[in-house]
Amino acid sequence: MLIGYARVSTGLQNLDMQTGALTQYGCTKIFHDEMSGTKKQRPGLEEALTYARQGDTIVVWRLDRLGRNMQDLIQIVNNLNEQGIGFHSLQENLTMDRGNATGQLIFHLFAAFAEFERNLIQERSATGRVAAKARGRLGGRPEKFESKDIEMMKSLIESGTPIKDIAEKWGVSRTTIYRYLEKKDDELKKDNI
């Protein structure tokens, strides 16, 4: 039996392409996860591995969909091999026959290339963030309050208004009020240095 496993890193990405390719290849059962591959606990993968029996083959769209890193990928495929379960990656057109030296060599090479590609993406992302920061773009969520809002909050607190009431007035949690007030105090301390 061919058992598919698909994974996307975020909810913004779509599983359709992977599940379509797995179905077209002949997978009769497909498991999936919508989470980063760096997470150790991936329920869909765990279900697929538990569901597979000796003689079955686990099929993925690409090697990097299966393992968190090269070591994890090798460990998963070795465990499959020990249980008599096959492994196939569609994009690399790689069927693992771990019973021979050539299959092992090919597996290690493709796993290394998959990890290399992932590292390149991370490096490019980091470089992009640095370049954006140099241009004055800091990313993240925009500030919720302007300075005048924070000053008004401080005045209300000084006049004895409970934080709970202030938070309700602005429609935020008390923690948010405290965080903005603390941030404002830190900025004032830096300006006075």
- Enumerate the active-site residues: 9
- Measured on CA atoms in the order 84, 42, 70, 24, is the torsion positive or negative? positive
Cβ atoms of residues 114 and 70 within 8 Å: yes
Calculate the alpha carbon distances from 148 to 1, 44, 154, 176, 188 in Å.
Answer: 65, 49, 10, 16, 14
138-167 b/e with 16+ CB inside 10 Å = b?
eeeeeeebeeeebeebeebeeeeeebeebb
Token pair belonging to 133: 């920061």
CA distance 52 to 1: 8
CA distance 47 to 19: 16
Residues 6+ apart with CB under 8 A from 23: 4, 30
